[in-house]
Amino acid sequence: MAFTSIKTTGGWSTNTVTAAYDLYFRWQLKAMPLCRQFVDVRPQNPTHRGDSVTLQLNQYFDKAAVLAATTPLDEETDVTPRQLPATTKVTLTPTEYGDAVIRTIKLANRGMVPIDPVIGKAVGAHCGDVVDYLVQTALREGTQVYRAASRASTATVAAGDTLTANMIRLAVTKLEGNTVLPRDGQFYAGLVHPNVVFDLRTETGSGSWRVPKEYGSSQSDIWTGEIGEFEGVRFIKSSTLLRASDNDGASAVNVYRSFILGQEALAEAVVVEPHTVLSPVTDKLRRFQGIGWYGDLDFAVYRNEAIVRLESATAAS
């Protein structure tokens, strides 16, 4: 007896029973860019749109000048005029960045789902990731560094050298000693990797992690990605803080860079804000459509005194 079935080939089911596909395409996991929200210095009154812009910082008199003025004045002797200290300069050189995807009209006409929205989201996310990378690259130029276990260099950070509450306290003390203003008038900002948060939260003993401050009804005060306040620092976490090249510790251990920031740590100069661009169709048959992004900008350390970098390994795996 012959069955009309899926099992028996050659019948009606051969051409009519096929694999099905979900037309809802989900996206791969990725971390959201968070770092640019902490760039708070921008040119205020540039002379013109040049190839770079220089920001200047007025300097107060140094300690030697203060001590010299503690000597009482002589009644019959005039003071010697003192020269104002020279300004210090921070130069930003905006650079063009961008990328694009070109799809064919044939693909657009045959795909099971519209392709342009997929390209648009992917390109927009790529733009955000690149800008976040540039901000972090500028952050890493800060020279105030504390390493776990008091290691002398990044290359000597070993497995087991994890972030501790005392390192957070050292960073805050350094910023306070530099008279750096907190980010919101009360707290400094901490940018950390989730693995580093694990180390901090699992530390035991007096003075280790405690329940962070809860903001109650003041939800608008919370920064994007924030996990709470500890030792005068409001923390946000992002997995983008670890790079593939950060296996530069002892025996190729991953060295995590965490940052404690005060006001005016970073500056940016923007000629063109990064944005999505639809490329003009220029081929003779109008078959090629480009979607990309473009920006013209630069980031740099503005006040080195306002950045403390913490380097550590992690116990999280």
With contact defined as beta carbons under 8 Å apart, do 237 and 225 qualify?
yes
- What's the gap between Cα 93 and its chain centre? 19
Neighbouring C-beta atoms of residue 258, cutoff 10 Å: 24
Kindly tell me if the per-residue pLDDT of 44 is higher than 50.
yes
**Dihedral of CA 33/35/38/41: which sign?**
negative
- Burial (CB < 10 A; 0-12, 13-18, 19+), residue 135, is buried
Residue in the structure block whose two tokens are 């005392």: 166
Say how far apart CA 147 and CA 129 lie, in whole Å.
Answer: 27
Closest-CA residue to 253 (of 152, 140, 157, 163)? 157
Q: For residue 88, what are the β-bridge partners?
A: 57
Say how far apart CA 219 and CA 266 lie, in whole Å.
Answer: 26
Q: Given this structure, which CATH class describes domain 149-209+223-267+303-312? A: alpha beta
- What's the gap between Cα 204 and its chain centre? 29
Question: In the chain, where are the structural domains located?
Answer: 149-209+223-267+303-312
Q: What is the pLDDT of residues 234-283, one digit of tens each?
A: 999 999 999 999 999 999 999 999 999 999 999 999 999 999 999 999 99
Say how far apart CA 145 and CA 311 lie, in whole Å.
Answer: 7
Q: What is the pLDDT of residues 103-162, one digit of tens each?
A: 999 999 999 999 999 999 999 999 999 999 999 999 999 999 999 999 999 999 999 999
Q: Give the chain's mean pLDDT.
A: 93
With contact defined as beta carbons under 8 Å apart, do 33 and 39 qualify?
no
pTM of the model: 0.88
Q: What is the pLDDT of residues 204-235, one digit of tens each?
A: 777 777 655 555 565 555 555 456 788 999 99
